[in-house]
């Protein structure tokens, strides 16, 4: 038993814990994080909102890659980290979850009261009329439009994008919104360069303000999108605990920072709180 995990178990016992999770919690499910040891940013720059909206060719290539990546994402299963968060909720210790991930694995692992800060790959929105549909429905339409498309993923990113040659991607056939007859479709996720909806941010702040502990799991807190909740908790005097493989930009604000894989810390933490 590590001293850090024992200290974390003590912090958890008061309950009213809010979990802030990042891509690192899904690496054991086969989805690499952005900046950790398997970080996808080392391979390529993710799609930006500006490129998606302003460049039809870039948009086609994105949907081709995402079409392939969707299959990898749907095969991903919740791991011990997701199950641990759900278990702590059932124990009445975790009051809510804010996740920066778009993979839906927290919910698949049994968690509830999950706020998806950056949206969900399981939904698609029309940029023209605002109509929302399921990713499953879009996938069926894309399959019908691309019966000969047989590209396979070489590496999937946390946003569901994959590595794919331009020649393969350029042959991909797009489909438009059915509700408004051809509007541009976009996964209902926050791309790099796009802002998180204001009401969603306010909901997250309100959840943090009611917390007795903010527990960060698998996030380097490099971008302000997630780090602002750590800053807010610290400003209010709410303890912050961080478990991440590698240093984070929130360590200086943390009551406790554990540099270790979640797959090592969280199962041990569950054993301690279940005693």
Choose, from 83, 87, 118, 122, the residue flagged as catalytic.
118
CA dist 215 → 46, 77, 89 (Å): 27, 23, 13
Q: Which residues neighbour 7 within 8 Å (Cβ) at sequence distance 6 or greater?
A: 256
Domains, the chain: 3-273 (3.40.50.1220)
pLDDT mean over 63-67? 93
Instruction: List all residues 6 or more positions away from 69 whose beta carbon is below 8 Å from its beta carbon.
Output: 153, 156, 157, 160, 161, 162
Share of the chain above pLDDT 90, in %: 80
Q: Write out the binding residues for Zn(2+).
A: 126, 129, 177, 180
Give the model's confidence band at 46: pLDDT under 50 very low, under 70 low, under 90 confident, else very high.
confident
Asked whether the predicted pLDDT for residue 95 surpasses 80, the reply is yes
- How many Å apart are CA 266 and CA 243, to the nearest integer? 9
Annotated binding site for NAD(+): 22-42, 100-103, 218-220, 244-246, 262
Catalytic annotation on 118?
Answer: yes
Taking the whole predicted model, whether its pTM rises above 0.85 is answered as: yes
pLDDT digits (tens, 9 = 90+) for 181-240: 999 999 999 999 999 999 999 999 999 999 999 999 999 999 999 999 999 999 999 999
């Amino acid at each position: 038993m590590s001293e850090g995990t024992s200290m974390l178990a003590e912090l958890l016992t008061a309950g009213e814990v809010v979990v802030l999770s990042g891509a690192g919690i899904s690496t054991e499910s086969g989805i690499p994080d952005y900046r950790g040891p398997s970080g996808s940013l080392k391979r390529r720059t993710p799609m930006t909102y500006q490129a998606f909206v302003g460049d039809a060719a870039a948009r086609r290539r994105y949907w081709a890659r995402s079409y392939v990546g969707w299959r990898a994402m749907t095969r991903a299963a919740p791991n011990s980290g997701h199950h641990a968060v759900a278990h702590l909720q059932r124990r009445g210790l975790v009051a809510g979850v804010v996740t920066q991930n778009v993979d839906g694995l927290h919910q698949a692992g049994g968690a509830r009261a999950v706020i998806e800060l950056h949206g969900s790959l399981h939904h698609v929105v029309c940029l023209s009329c605002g109509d929302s549909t399921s990713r499953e429905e879009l996938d069926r339409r894309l399959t019908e439009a691309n019966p000969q498309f047989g590209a396979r993923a070489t590496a999937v990113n946390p946003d569901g994008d994959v590595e794919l040659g331009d020649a393969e991607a350029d042959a991909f056939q797009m489909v438009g919104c059915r509700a408004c007859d051809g509007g541009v479709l976009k996964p209902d996720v926050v791309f790099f360069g796009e802002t998180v909806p204001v009401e969603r941010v306010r909901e997250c702040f309100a959840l943090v303000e009611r917390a007795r502990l903010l527990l960060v799991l698998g996030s380097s807190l490099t971008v302000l999108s997630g780090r602002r909740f750590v800053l807010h908790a610290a400003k209010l005097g709410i303890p912050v605990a961080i478990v991440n493989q590698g240093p984070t930009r929130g360590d200086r604000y943390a009551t406790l920072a554990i540099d270790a894989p979640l797959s090592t810390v969280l199962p041990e933490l569950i054993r301690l709180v279940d005693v």
